[in-house]
Copies of this chain bind each other. A is one copy, B any other.
């Protein structure tokens, strides 16, 4: 079995897309993250929901959650303030884990090896520079345990 047969559709967003729209999609569809591509559609990175949560909470409150009460505005207002007019690219942290990218003819073990090395919960499957789909770690485990006949 090759990567193109394992890949599934996954929500993808461009670095140039509106940050508010992307976060709304994460929230409404209850997604753990989005795959971020460059403006040409080449996969670049992941925007995890946990990263967006970090953006919303000031550092001094992260360090001492008992200070949360000093934030007088609502979380909805904070989301709007922090995201308005920004692009998705501005939300991606510098220390984000490298996105695992595999070729559409890679085998299951090759995909597992790349995901394992990068400690990445998903791999983007590409043909040339084009994104074909995504393989999550749990999808890979499912196929490893019960390969289709």
Q: Is the CB of A75 closer than 8 A to any CB of chain B?
A: yes
- Residue A149 is within 8 A (CB to CB) of chain B in the complex: no
Q: Does the CB pair B30–A138 fall under 8 Å?
A: yes
Residue in B28, B51, B75, B147 whose beta carbon sits within 8 Å of that of A108 in the complex: B75
A117–B63 CB distance below 8 A: yes
Whether A89 is near chain B, meaning CB under 8 Å from some CB there, is: no
Q: How many copies does the complex hold?
A: 2
Ranked nearest first, the 9 interchain pairs of A and B with the lowest CB-CB distance are A49-B137, A65-B113, A75-B144, A68-B109, A27-B141, A62-B117, A49-B138, A50-B137, A54-B116
Q: Give chain B nearest CB distance to A24 CB in angstroms.
A: 7
- Which of chain B's residues have a CB closer than 8 A to the CB of A27? 138, 141-142, 144-146
